């Protein structure tokens, strides 16, 4: 039996990759990459030339059986996403589940995940939180938000730049304009920024400044209204 490794890759700064991650990627018989072109740039930078196989949400169901067979045959397989930890809003869950069902060892390396620095630097309670990832774009979006209307824990959302304003507007409708929030973008990259304040203040900021980059939105829970955040 081989071993399946879930390997975090940098969400921005290449220095965030670990020595262990580099070793595993160099030793792997096969690297499953969400986008081989994106991962190819990373691997080339670190002079890793191992075989890669495209593995993303559109082909993972067709690919997973072949991967499990290679693991059964004794291969070491490493899974990487475009950025961050596989399985966190990225492919990784399915192959991990099927490998476990097949009795194959699954090892996840600690490393980069965008929501952790966004949460810890938000100024909002991080002892208890719920990670919501990307909300449904259309069907089920409002229902999901309404289900969170009584959530007391700090809430974490991923969002694309062209939907940030809409998301903040919807949060105001459900959570109220005074709910504290920290909107982080481009984590660990050159233009990293956190906009802290109320939902209304954050909305106003991004109405005046075009949202760019990938976003993590950290919203205070219902019982966290007393925690005030401050703009940088």
Chain segment 117-161, per-residue pLDDT in tens: 999 999 999 999 999 999 998 889 999 999 999 999 999 999 999
| Domain spans, the chain | 3-108, 115-224
| Rounded average pLDDT over 4-8 | 98
The per-residue pLDDT of the chain, averaged, comes to: 94
Chain segment 69-78, per-residue pLDDT in tens: 999 999 999 9
Q: What is the pTM of this model?
A: 0.90
Q: Where are the beta strands (DSSP E) in 81-153?
A: 105-108, 129-134
Domains 3-108 and 115-224 share a fold: no
Backbone torsion region of residue 197, taken as left when φ is above 0, otherwise alpha when ψ lies between -120 and 50, otherwise beta: left
Q: Is 200 exposed, middle or buried (0-12, 13-18, 19+ CB in 10 A)?
A: middle
Instruction: Say which CATH superfamily domain 3-108 falls into.
Output: Tetrapyrrole methylase, N-terminal domain (3.40.1010.10)
Domain 115-224 fold is 3.30.950
Q: In 39-77, which positions are buried (b, 16+ CB within 10 angstroms) versus exposed (e)?
A: beebbeeeebeeebeebbeeebeebbeebbebbeeebbb
Chain segment 61-118, per-residue pLDDT in tens: 989 999 999 999 999 999 999 999 999 999 999 999 999 999 999 999 999 999 999 9
Residue 232: per-residue pLDDT: 43
Is a pLDDT exceeding 80 seen at residue 187?
yes
| Residues 140/146/148/149 CA torsion (nearest 10 deg) | 170
Residue 183: per-residue pLDDT: 98
């Amino acid at each position: 039996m081989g071993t399946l490794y879930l390997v975090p890759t940098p969400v921005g700064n290449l220095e965030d990759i670990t020595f262990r991650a580099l070793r595993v990627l160099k030793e792997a018989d096969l690297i499953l990459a969400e986008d081989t072109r994106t991962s190819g740039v990373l691997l080339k930078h670190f002079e890793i030339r191992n075989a890669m196989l495209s593995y993303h949400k559109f082909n993972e169901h067709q690919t997973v059986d072949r991967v499990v067979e290679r693991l059964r045959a004794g291969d070491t397989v490493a899974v990487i996403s475009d950025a961050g930890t596989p399985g966190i809003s990225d492919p990784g869950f399915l192959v991990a589940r099927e490998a476990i069902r097949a009795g194959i060892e699954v090892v996840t390396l600690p490393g980069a995940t965008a929501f952790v620095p966004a949460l810890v630097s938000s100024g909002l309670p991080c002892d208890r939180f719920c990670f919501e990832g990307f909300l449904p774009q259309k069907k089920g979006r409002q229902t999901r938000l309404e289900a969170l209307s009584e959530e007391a824990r700090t809430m974490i959302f991923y969002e694309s730049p062209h939907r940030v304003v809409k998301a903040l507007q919807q949060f105001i409708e459900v959570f109220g304009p005074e709910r504290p929030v920290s909107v982080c973008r481009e984590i660990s990259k050159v233009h990293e920024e956190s906009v802290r304040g109320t939902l209304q203040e954050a909305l106003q900021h991004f109405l005046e400044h075009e949202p760019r980059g990938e976003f993590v939105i950290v919203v205070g829970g219902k019982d966290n209204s007393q925690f005030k955040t401050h703009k940088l």
